[in-house]
Amino acid sequence: MIKKKYLNISQVSKILQIEEHKIRYWDSIDPKTNKYRIEGISTKSKGGTRYFNKENIKKLEKLKSILHDGKNRNYSIKLADKIISSNLRYSKKNDQNISYLGVSDNHKKIEQILNKMRLLLKNNNR
Protein backbone atom coordinates (compact mmCIF):
# COMPACT_ATOMS: atom_id res chain seq x y z
CA MET A 1 0.00 0.00 0.00
CA ILE A 2 1.25 3.45 -0.90
CA LYS A 3 1.49 5.86 2.01
CA LYS A 4 2.06 9.13 0.13
CA LYS A 5 -0.76 11.65 0.32
CA TYR A 6 -0.41 12.60 -3.36
CA LEU A 7 0.89 10.64 -6.34
CA ASN A 8 1.96 11.93 -9.74
CA ILE A 9 0.38 10.88 -13.02
CA SER A 10 3.03 8.29 -13.89
CA GLN A 11 2.61 6.55 -10.52
CA VAL A 12 -1.18 6.49 -10.87
CA SER A 13 -0.88 5.27 -14.46
CA LYS A 14 1.23 2.31 -13.35
CA ILE A 15 -0.99 1.45 -10.37
CA LEU A 16 -4.28 1.55 -12.30
CA GLN A 17 -2.81 0.42 -15.63
CA ILE A 18 -4.30 3.37 -17.49
CA GLU A 19 -2.24 5.19 -20.09
CA GLU A 20 -1.21 8.70 -19.01
CA HIS A 21 -2.74 10.28 -22.13
CA LYS A 22 -6.17 8.85 -21.19
CA ILE A 23 -5.93 10.30 -17.69
CA ARG A 24 -4.94 13.69 -19.16
CA TYR A 25 -7.85 13.56 -21.61
CA TRP A 26 -10.37 12.69 -18.91
CA ASP A 27 -8.92 15.52 -16.78
CA SER A 28 -8.94 18.13 -19.56
CA ILE A 29 -11.41 20.86 -20.42
CA ASP A 30 -13.86 20.11 -23.24
CA PRO A 31 -13.60 23.03 -25.71
CA LYS A 32 -17.31 22.78 -26.59
CA THR A 33 -18.55 23.25 -23.02
CA ASN A 34 -15.51 24.86 -21.33
CA LYS A 35 -15.99 22.39 -18.47
CA TYR A 36 -13.85 19.51 -17.27
CA ARG A 37 -14.73 16.26 -19.01
CA ILE A 38 -14.72 14.53 -15.60
CA GLU A 39 -14.69 16.79 -12.56
CA GLY A 40 -12.40 16.00 -9.65
CA ILE A 41 -9.94 13.60 -11.22
CA SER A 42 -6.83 15.45 -10.05
CA THR A 43 -5.49 18.29 -7.96
CA LYS A 44 -3.37 20.68 -9.99
CA SER A 45 -0.46 22.79 -8.83
CA LYS A 46 -0.09 26.42 -9.90
CA GLY A 47 2.18 25.21 -12.69
CA GLY A 48 -0.47 22.76 -13.91
CA THR A 49 1.13 19.55 -12.65
CA ARG A 50 -1.49 16.93 -11.82
CA TYR A 51 -1.41 15.23 -8.42
CA PHE A 52 -3.77 12.51 -7.26
CA ASN A 53 -5.06 11.73 -3.77
CA LYS A 54 -7.07 8.71 -2.59
CA GLU A 55 -10.41 10.15 -3.73
CA ASN A 56 -9.02 11.03 -7.17
CA ILE A 57 -7.62 7.52 -7.57
CA LYS A 58 -10.92 5.89 -6.54
CA LYS A 59 -12.72 8.02 -9.12
CA LEU A 60 -10.22 7.06 -11.83
CA GLU A 61 -10.56 3.40 -10.90
CA LYS A 62 -14.34 3.56 -11.22
CA LEU A 63 -14.10 5.50 -14.48
CA LYS A 64 -11.79 2.88 -15.92
CA SER A 65 -14.14 0.04 -14.94
CA ILE A 66 -17.13 1.85 -16.48
CA LEU A 67 -15.47 2.90 -19.73
CA HIS A 68 -13.39 -0.19 -20.39
CA ASP A 69 -14.60 -3.72 -19.85
CA GLY A 70 -11.67 -5.72 -21.15
CA LYS A 71 -10.79 -4.09 -24.45
CA ASN A 72 -14.30 -2.90 -25.27
CA ARG A 73 -15.39 0.69 -24.87
CA ASN A 74 -18.78 0.65 -23.21
CA TYR A 75 -20.10 4.13 -22.45
CA SER A 76 -19.61 7.73 -23.39
CA ILE A 77 -17.46 9.76 -21.03
CA LYS A 78 -20.44 11.96 -20.11
CA LEU A 79 -22.54 8.98 -19.07
CA ALA A 80 -19.60 7.55 -17.12
CA ASP A 81 -19.24 10.87 -15.27
CA LYS A 82 -22.94 10.83 -14.33
CA ILE A 83 -22.68 7.24 -13.11
CA ILE A 84 -19.60 8.02 -11.02
CA SER A 85 -21.06 11.24 -9.59
CA SER A 86 -24.25 9.53 -8.47
CA ASN A 87 -22.32 6.55 -7.08
CA LEU A 88 -19.88 8.76 -5.16
CA ARG A 89 -22.73 10.64 -3.49
CA TYR A 90 -24.29 7.31 -2.49
CA SER A 91 -20.92 5.87 -1.49
CA LYS A 92 -20.02 8.77 0.81
CA LYS A 93 -23.30 8.39 2.66
CA ASN A 94 -23.28 4.61 3.01
CA ASP A 95 -19.71 3.36 2.87
CA GLN A 96 -17.13 4.81 5.24
CA ASN A 97 -14.65 1.91 4.94
CA ILE A 98 -13.42 2.02 1.35
CA SER A 99 -9.82 0.86 1.17
CA TYR A 100 -7.18 2.84 -0.73
CA LEU A 101 -7.32 0.82 -3.93
CA GLY A 102 -9.58 -1.99 -2.77
CA VAL A 103 -13.06 -2.79 -3.97
CA SER A 104 -15.92 -1.93 -1.65
CA ASP A 105 -19.20 -3.82 -1.40
CA ASN A 106 -20.90 -0.89 -3.13
CA HIS A 107 -18.42 -1.10 -5.98
CA LYS A 108 -19.21 -4.81 -6.42
CA LYS A 109 -22.92 -4.02 -6.57
CA ILE A 110 -22.28 -1.27 -9.11
CA GLU A 111 -20.24 -3.67 -11.23
CA GLN A 112 -23.09 -6.19 -11.15
CA ILE A 113 -25.59 -3.52 -12.23
CA LEU A 114 -23.29 -2.31 -14.99
CA ASN A 115 -22.78 -5.84 -16.28
CA LYS A 116 -26.55 -6.32 -16.42
CA MET A 117 -26.90 -2.99 -18.26
CA ARG A 118 -24.20 -4.03 -20.75
CA LEU A 119 -26.00 -7.31 -21.40
CA LEU A 120 -29.30 -5.51 -21.95
CA LEU A 121 -27.66 -3.04 -24.33
CA LYS A 122 -26.06 -5.85 -26.33
CA ASN A 123 -29.39 -7.69 -26.58
CA ASN A 124 -31.23 -4.54 -27.69
CA ASN A 125 -28.65 -3.78 -30.39
CA ARG A 126 -29.16 -7.14 -32.11
In this prediction, residue 12 carries a pLDDT of 94
In this prediction, residue 94 carries a pLDDT of 47
In this prediction, residue 51 carries a pLDDT of 94
Per-residue pLDDT of the chain (126 residues; tens, 9 = 90+): 457 789 999 999 999 999 999 999 989 988 888 888 888 889 988 998 999 999 999 999 888 887 776 555 556 777 777 777 776 554 544 444 444 444 456 667 777 788 888 777 777 766
Distance CA(67)–CA(33), nearest Å, equals: 21
In this prediction, residue 98 carries a pLDDT of 42
In this prediction, residue 107 carries a pLDDT of 65
CB-based contacts of 27: which residues, under 8 Å, 6+ apart? 36, 37, 38, 41, 42, 50
CB-based contacts of 96: which residues, under 8 Å, 6+ apart? none
Domains in the chain: ranges and CATH: 7-124 (1.10.1660)
In this prediction, residue 70 carries a pLDDT of 56
In this prediction, residue 13 carries a pLDDT of 93
